Structure 1
Amino acid sequence: MSWVSWTLDVPCRQVLAVCLLMIFSLLFHWYLRNRKRKGRLPGPFPWPVIGNLLQVRNNAHLKLNKMREIYGDVFSIKFFSRSVVVVSGQTAVDECLNSQSVLFSARPELAMSQFVLQGKSLTFARMDVSTHKQYRHLALCALREVTRTKTRTAFQHRAEEDGTTSNVVNSEDRRSHIEQLLLEEGKKLGKRLVAVGELHNQDVVGLTASVKYEILSTVCNINASVLWGQRYGRHDSQLKRMVNATKGLQTSNASTTLLNFMPSLIKILRPAVNSFVQLNESLENDLKTQVQSRRQQTESCNGHGNKNGKDHNSVLDYLLKVLDDDKLEQNYETDRTLLLVGDLLGAGTDTISVAFAWLIVYAATFPEVQKRVRREIETFQQEFDRLPTYAERCHLPYIMAYITEVLRHSSFVPFTIPHSPHNHGNLCGFHITEGTVMMISLWSINRDPDLWEQSDKFRPERFINRQGEFDRTKADRVNVFGGGRRRCAGEHLARIELFLMVVALFKEFRFERLGGQTNLPDTELSISIHPKVIDVRTIEIG
């Protein structure tokens, strides 16, 4: 080819490239419009084999929120070859979780939940509406019974056994067993945080790891007490196993999640899968040990146990009583019933430990807010000569506003556990096929600038009305517990834990960021959104 013909060919190539690009753009635009016109879902173009995985691999909640600006509140992406529908914004999420709660309350068939939990988990398994309703109601009853059980003194126990009086202390004046537990564990946690702060001083990495461990250890101990009535010493081997197993499950979550969308990767990810299975078996074995222990105690108690008793000190006690009750109209499967304890343990450990961490980090980052929270606690204590109960939270509106704003601003649970329709249906005009994986973005609600003035700003005052009261109507817009039939069964317990932990910690301890940092730390997304560093020093108030 001559030099002249080559130079003449260059513009032709450029024109051809431009033409091809324009044709491709027009076809792609037509493709998106055509999908929407026919009620099919819009969404980004998926790459062969991997789909849109690389586009959302880091900070998925932020990446998907950006896609929402392009494709709308309901759109489709692909993880490998599996389609995933993303639902964002208050209107679409409300239609999905509440207006059409029955239709969209199923769980998709995910490989790990079927493989590890045999499809019997209330939280993860796909089950029919009536079965899920039955066992969710049972879980709610168990938690309701445990959270209202009152603390009994040794004097009360003796009096009741002797039959000398049935009114030693008015039941309305007694703090619940859970509330007393939380106040005690909160104080212990504060003292341990003081110690690790003194130990690590300016070592941010060591301090972060120690603070996270102490918080997780506290949450595991609280859960053990609530779920099977066992409260461990700080160095107890079983408590350490629980903490290590939970940390292991958090670490292996990313690898095992991939298997839900590409089961063929199991050969490559076999070590992570084996670790995940072993950690689950460890927690399951601990639960079986507790079940055997409780049954032995029941049999040794004059052959009657607590069948005639009204108080249930743990969820497990309540569930065993239900299983042993022959008069109940409904039948409960033993395995599925006892798995409720494991479900509540899994759901309430990572999320609550991350919530506790954020409550401390926000307090240290915004010292004026922290002072106002502490002042409200001191005012209540001066008036009533004691710390508040959860039932008295209306007297502490700023604490409620602080907790709610931490939940909103951190939005540390960015998505619900995946939903799926029981049958073919429509959502916001789009056709959703049965079994489709649905990611429901809670982040898109909690940080929506159309719902919240200065949504990126941390302002607890937004939840205080003109009368100085906690604005419950506005607080109800904040969503961290899901909604509808799949709303978190442990929500009430979680709210008690958050309130009482703030009371216990903020009354006796002050939190400061190392170096006087005034910006919140960077975040990481695993199961929840958690702070990369917790560079917070805890100081006991004299």
Structure 2
Amino acid sequence: MSHLTMKDLATPSEHWFKGSVGAFEPDQIHNYLYELKNALGDIFKISFYGKSVVVLSEPEAVRYILKNRPGLFRRVSRIESVFEDLGVHGVFSAEGEDWKKYRNFLNPAFRPSQIKLFYPSIYLVTQRLCSVVPSQQKSFNFQQLIERYTVDVTTKLSFGYDLNTLEKPVSELQHKLSLIFPGISSRLRSPFPYWEYFKLSKDKKIDEALVLIRDYVAKFIAAAKQRIENNHQASNILDSMLMADPESEHEIFGNMMTLLLAGEDTTANTIAWAIDYLTDFPDIQERIFHEIRQRYPKDGQLKWDDLDDFPLTFAAAQEAMRIRPVTPFAQIENNNDETICGYKIPKGTTFFVLLSDKGMSPELFEEPQKFNPDRWLNIDEEKLKTIAKDMHPFGGGARLCPGRQLALIEMKIALIELLYRFKFTKETHVGSTRDSFSMTVKPQNLFVRATARNICKQETEKEIPTLA
């Protein structure tokens, strides 16, 4: 029997009191963890002001933890307390019976049959996205635009309300939402909950943002109740939740906030990373355009059944998720004493579980640093199974992200429509794009130019380059 304990874990050189605090910029913690993994191995320990954190990437141990949530493992308890304090407690932050209840609330909305019913709304918002791209200045911040797109999709599907931030020069709701994730991330990093005793300027801004967001959601709820009274059936996620439990408005608000935040950030970030890479590799972007032009429906209407006809286009999104996973690690706590990789880990220890380490493994991917969507084409089933076991962009186990299929549909339709209509090039004079972590990893400073494509139907198929 192993006698190894946490004291035996490899540890980087740290400050005697602060630990790893100060060793990295707060928005670069993901890169710091992966760099340490390369230096120290699949399991090691860091600390923050005396609190030890186990960083884990060993594949079998990662699968064990993800599989045994929420029973043996949970999100770190601080996540729940921070979300509760802000009044945005929902399926993301909940544990135990609360999580089961919220999950049952949301599950019906993410069934494939229901997502298919959502398609016309997603298509409508995507057409609006394409219509506003030419109205941008010569160069524009793509990340900000695509966040407005995903806010519009999410509010339409969640509340049945067409917020239309895309056509508004200033989106109040989207601006306020953009303050919440950084605020949550900052509080999770804080060594103690100072906001319970006094508020800094950034905390007051979060409070003000939440007041406005609650006002929006209250109006959505009132409209949903009227719809239900008139129609006696659910037409969106909010309707379904109110019909299941009409008295739980506080809980509904928390879960609606979860949908808004997750829908805006995670999906938008992956689309943005894909565009970022395609501006760096214009030859791949051209091949994707030719694929779409070949296979786009002749009637000019992209339909649900068409979405799987563009393998190279979707491969670009898969490759972006591999290299730039928007959720690079999960913060987990063990509910009982555990032995992980031969080390005895006491109950209540914080784990940073690296979810996408194998995405950069040369054993799975040749030249893993290279952006190469072709690696996803004609991939054999066995390798796909291995990748699915070792890469977890949407989490895993019972707490696998319920909205993953919806997110993939949004990515597909947005990339197909945008890359069919526009050629994107990087705006270089504003500086390079950088990654930034704030609950999720997003591109900062992603300025692009969009040039309208010639999509004349006169061209014959033989004139279009064959896809590699």
The normalised TM-score by structure 1 is 0.74
Summarize deviations over 1:458-498 as a string: whole Å, max 9, x none.
0111111279x997546635431111122212111111111
1:144 aligns with 2:111: yes
Q: CA deviation at 1:297?
A: 3.2
CA drift at 1:182: 2.7
Q: Unmatched 5+ residue regions in structure 1? A: 1-33, 149-175, 201-206, 325-331
Q: Which has the higher strand share?
A: 2
Q: Does 1:116 align with 2:116?
A: no
Aligned to 1:13: none
Does structure 1 residue 192 correspond to structure 2 residue 105?
no
1:322: which partner in 2? Answer: 244
Is the deviation greater in 334-343 or in 215-224? Answer: 334-343
CA shift for structure 1 position 234: 4.3
Say yes or no: does 1:442 pair with 2:347. Answer: no
Residue pairs, 1:265-280, within 5 angstroms: 270-280=200-210
Question: What does residue range 372-521 of structure 1 map to in structure 2 within 5 Å?
Answer: 372-381=287-296, 385=299, 387-416=301-330, 418-465=331-378, 472-473=384-385, 476=388, 477-514=390-427, 521=433
Alignment of 1:165-176 (within 5 A): 176=116
Alignment of 1:39-188 (within 5 A): 41-44=9-12, 46-57=14-25, 59-98=28-67, 102-110=71-79, 111-117=81-87, 120-125=89-94, 127-128=95-96, 130-144=97-111, 147-148=114-115, 176-188=116-128
1:410 Cα deviation from its structure 2 partner: 1.6
The reply to whether residue 230 of structure 1 matches residue 161 of structure 2 is: yes
Aligned to 2:173: 242
More moved, 185-194 vs 532-541: 185-194
Q: Any conservation in 1 of the 2:360–2:369 contact (CA below 8 Å)?
A: yes
Identical amino acids, percent of aligned pairs = 21
Return the offset for 1:295: 1.2
Counterpart residue number, 1:262:
192
Counterpart amino acid of residue 86 in structure 2: V
Q: Distance in 2 between matches of 1:471 and 1:379?
A: 29
Q: For 1:46-67, what per-residue CA distance to the aligned partner results, in whole angstroms no more than 9, with x for missing partners?
A: 5344222122435222222232
What is the one-letter code of the residue matched to 1:258? Answer: R
1:444 is displaced (CA, Å) by 1.9
Quote the offset at 1:177 in angstroms.
4.5
Give CA-to-partner distance per residue, 1:222-279, whole Å, 9 cap, x none.
11101000013448889822111122224535532333x3224765763222222332
Contact 1:232–1:239 under 8 Å retained in 2: no
1:117 Cα deviation after fit: 2.9
3-state SS in 2 of match to 1:53: coil
Match of 1:531 in 2: 443
Distance 1:395 1:181 in 2: 21
Q: Which has the larger radius of gyration?
A: 1
Amino acid at match of 2:56: V
Per-residue CA distance 1:79-99 (angstroms, 9 max, x = gap): 223322222243332222126
2:273 to 358, 373, 378: 358
Q: Secondary structure at the match of 2:362?
A: coil
Tell me how far apart the structure 2 counterparts of residues 491 and 411 of structure 1 sit (CA, whole Å): 14
> Take 2:208 and 2:49, find their aligned partners in 1: how far apart are those partners?
27
Residue 319 (structure 1) shift: 1.1
Counterpart contact for 1:221–1:239, Cα < 8 Å? no
> Does the C-alpha gap of structure 1 residues 422 and 280 become closer, same or farther in structure 2, counting only changes over 3 Å?
farther
Alpha-carbon separation, structure 2, partners of 1:535 and 1:235: 17
Instruction: Please say if residues 245 and 283 of structure 1, whose CA atoms lie closer than 8 Å, have aligned partners that are also in contact.
Output: yes
Partner residue in 2 for 1:158: none
Alpha-carbon deviation of 1:450? 3.4
Distance in structure 2 (CA, Å) of the matches to 1:53 and 1:36: 26
Q: How many equivalent pairs are there?
A: 450
Which stretch of the first structure deviates more once superposed, 236-245 or 70-79?
236-245
- The equivalent of 2:235 in structure 1 is 313
Structure 1 residue 335 displacement after superposition: 3.2
In structure 2, C-alpha distance between the alignment counterparts of 1:516 and 1:177, rounded to whole Å: 43
Residues 2-27 of structure 1 deviation map (CA, whole Å, 9 limit, x = unaligned): xxxxxxxxxxxxxxxxxxxxxxxxxx
Stretches of structure 2 that go unaligned for 5 or more consecutive residues are 455-468
Give the residue type in structure 2 aligned to 1:372: R
SS at match of 1:109: helix
Q: Residue type of the partner of 1:369?
A: I
Q: What amino acid sits opposite 1:292 in the alignment?
A: A
Name the Cα RMSD after superposition. 3.3
**8 Å Cα contact 1:255/1:272 also seen in 2:** no
Corresponding residue for 1:369?
284
Distance 1:320 1:124 in 2: 20
Is the contact between residue 464 and residue 471 of structure 1 (CA under 8 Å) also seen in structure 2?
A: no
Q: TM-score, normalised by structure 2?
A: 0.85
SS at match of 2:401: coil
Query: For each residue in 1:150-180, what CA deviation from the matched residue of structure 2 results, as whole angstroms up to 9, or x when unmatched?
Result: xxxxxxxxxxxxxxxxxxxxxxxxxx45323
1:146 deviation in Å?
7.8
